[in-house]
């Protein structure tokens, strides 16, 4: 991880209430993300630390080293906490997790307090914690979402520069499924004119089915403030021929409704032809969590 500055932090609080979402609480063990996805919507959170969310998002990363301890004390104080999503604004299994094991410590705390949880990540490192996930699934329920925007390894390297190749991520889906963990594939974000063709969508949904995913969910690219700057920077660098059409499509944050509807229809068609595995094969307590994220 050359060129990355790691800043260890002692957080005062970790679990955040999240109104109006399918989950009620969120935990982000890191700030910043080594994966540096060009479309990352979480880049704006660097601004809260007066950091540059375009240039420094992947090169100045904050590690909340005391997170497991703080989670335990917050759970002890508030027994109503449930439906916790881990990794809504960072990747909880980015490479630093291999050393720091902060996410693992948080999962152990959630298991000990029997709190149902969901994880979202692009990293196969999540399989390291299958043992904790199994015990959390047994006492409270857990689901893991692994994001795969495309099965095209070259394109993936272009848009998610330091994430493991899509095939490796699908191997992680398979390992989680075989371990009895409810595992979703997040086909996200879908990028107009880059990953929105029917064959590209089909490839991800088919691979998810073959790997044993319990569900595929998706969303189309949103471009707001810093994400817009980062994504147009990528287009200038790698896809200048798309700048004009993206400027037309994204006059605001969202793609036009007609584009989103077409994407929804393609995903629906793929899901129909390559349905996810039957829920009956998933342990009951985990099934409860399928819609957590
Ligand atoms: S893995 Fe997630 S948090 Fe990290 S850069 Fe990519 S989209 Fe952002």
Q: Which atom of ligand 1 is nearest to the CA of 89?
A: 3
Q: Whose CA is nearest to atom 3 of ligand 1?
A: 90
Whether 280 shows a pLDDT value over 60: the answer reads no
Average pLDDT over residues 220-237: 95
**Are residues 65 and 99 in contact, defined by beta-carbon separation less than 8 angstroms?**
no
Shortest-distance Cα residue to atom 8 of ligand 1: 40
69-123: per-residue pLDDT in tens? 999 999 999 999 999 999 999 999 999 999 999 999 999 999 999 999 999 999 9
Which residue minimizes the CA distance to atom 7 of ligand 1? 40
Domains and CATH numbers, the chain: 5-287 (3.20.20.70)
Pocket-testing residue among 33, 147, 166, ligand 1, by greatest number of atoms within 8 A of Cβ = 33
Which ligand 1 atom sits closest to the C-alpha of 36?
A: 5
Instruction: Give pLDDT tens digits for 155-208.
Output: 999 999 999 999 999 999 999 999 999 999 999 999 999 999 999 999 999 999
Determine the residue of 30, 55, 60, 90 to mutate for testing ligand 1's pocket, defined as the one with the most ligand atoms within 8 A of the Cβ atom. 90
pLDDT tier, 284 (very low <50, low <70, confident <90, very high otherwise): very low
Mean pLDDT for 278-285 is 47
Atom nearest to 160 CA in ligand 1: 6
Question: What residues does ligand 1 touch, defined as CB less than 6 Å away?
Answer: 33, 35-37, 40, 42, 90-91, 122
- Location of structure tokens 């375009």: 54
Higher pLDDT, 280 or 153: 153
The pLDDT tens digits of the residues spanning 127-142 come to 999 999 999 999 999 9
Q: Which atom of ligand 1 is nearest to 123's Cα?
A: 1
Percentage with pLDDT > 70 across the chain: 95
């Amino acid at each position: 991880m050359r060129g990355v500055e790691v800043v260890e932090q002692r957080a005062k609080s970790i679990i955040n209430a999240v109104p109006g979402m399918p989950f009620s609480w969120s935990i982000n063990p890191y700030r910043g993300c080594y994966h540096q996805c060009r479309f990352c919507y979480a880049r704006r959170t660097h601004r809260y630390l007066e950091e540059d969310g375009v240039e420094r998002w992947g090169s100045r990363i904050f590690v909340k080293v005391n997170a497991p301890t703080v989670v335990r004390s917050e759970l002890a104080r508030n027994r109503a906490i449930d439906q916790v999503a881990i990794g809504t604004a960072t990747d909880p299994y980015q490479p630093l997790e291999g050393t720091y094991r902060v996410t693992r410590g948080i999962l152990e705390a959630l298991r000990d307090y029997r709190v149902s949880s969901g994880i979202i990540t692009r990293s196969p490192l999540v399989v390291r914690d299958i043992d904790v996930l199994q015990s959390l699934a047994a006492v409270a329920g857990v689901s893991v979402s692994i994001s795969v925007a495309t099965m095209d390894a070259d394109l993936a390297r272009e848009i998610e520069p330091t994430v493991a190749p899509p095939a490796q991520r699908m191997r992680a889906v398979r390992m989680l499924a075989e371990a009895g963990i409810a595992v979703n594939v997040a086909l996200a974000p879908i990028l107009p004119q880059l990953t929105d063709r029917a064959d590209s969508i089909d490839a991800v949904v088919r691979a998810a089915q073959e790997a044993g995913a319990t569900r595929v969910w998706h969303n189309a690219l949103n471009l707001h403030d810093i994400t817009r700057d980062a994504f147009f920077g990528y287009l200038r660098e790698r896809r200048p021929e798309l700048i004009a059409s993206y400027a037309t499509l994204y006059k605001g944050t969202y793609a036009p409704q007609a584009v989103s509807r077409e994407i929804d229809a393609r995903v629906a068609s793929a899901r129909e032809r390559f349905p996810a595995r039957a829920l009956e094969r998933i342990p009951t307590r985990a099934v409860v969590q399928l819609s957590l994220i």
